[in-house]
Amino acid sequence: MDQIITPATIIEIEEALAQVAEIRAARVVSSDDGVILEIHVLATPHKSPKQIVRDVESTIMARFGIPIDHRTVSIAQLGRDAAPRDTRDKGRARIKGVSAEVIGVRASARVSLELDGEIYEGVAEGPASTTGRRRLVAQATLEAVAQYVHGDFGFALEDVTLVELGRERVAVSCVILVTPLGEQPLAGSAFARQGENESIVRATLDAINRRMNFLTTP
């Protein structure tokens, strides 16, 4: 009998598959009653599709104890010029600058990030409400990252907020990763100890940093 899985488990499976060296992104499709129907994988061309399918089966069995029928797995491979990424720190962003400005009823945010030794700057503008200003900082962060990935993948801001947890204020950011295989929600957080705006940048980066090593092409 097929093993029933929850939507949260599906997200965990997709994240586990994305950590396999040759896999850039994965999308799991399940039935309404929680049975895996299809697994779609976007991979580099450095292994044969059969080997990648075996990697998918082994990963899901080892991490979740779920047997996978190889016929449910489909592989789409990138071009031969897609180099493997075997450096763990690749794509890890460092904050170089964060600034925000309010003029009348409009606000703007500018975020500079260092990625692989290069500086990428994102800018966002919009209404100067409290919520709007926070969103602009997160959007500017995602804009800087989007320049780094050259538009191969998209990041959409779902929401960003600051919450009180005990004695601490914490920034929480929810981002939607958009790939050729569909959408995936990502979340990150950061303590607001070094200023609200920087904490928003850190929370947004925390949401996507684990994915950066698997989504970028040298």
Q: 128 Cβ partners below 8 Å, 6+ apart?
A: 102, 103, 104, 105, 106, 107
Locate 205 and state its tokens.
Answer: 């980066």
Residue 19 pLDDT level (bands cut at 50, 70, 90): confident
> Could you tell me the fold of the domain covering 94-215?
Double Stranded RNA Binding Domain (3.30.160)
46-100 tens-digit pLDDT? 888 889 999 999 999 988 898 988 889 999 887 655 444 444 455 578 899 999 9
Strand 106-115 with 94-103, pairing? antiparallel
Residue 218 pLDDT level (bands cut at 50, 70, 90): very low
Q: Where, residue-wise, is CATH 3.30.160.270 in the chain?
A: 94-215
Q: Where, residue-wise, is CATH 3.30.300.30 in the chain?
A: 7-77
> Residue 218's closest CA among 90, 65, 70?
90
Taking the model in full, what pTM does it have?
Answer: 0.61
- Where b means 16+ CB within 10 Å and e means fewer, 202-217 reads bbbbbbbbebbbbbbe
> Could you tell me the fold of the domain covering 7-77?
GMP Synthetase; Chain A, domain 3 (3.30.300)
Locate 217 and state its tokens.
Answer: 């092409």
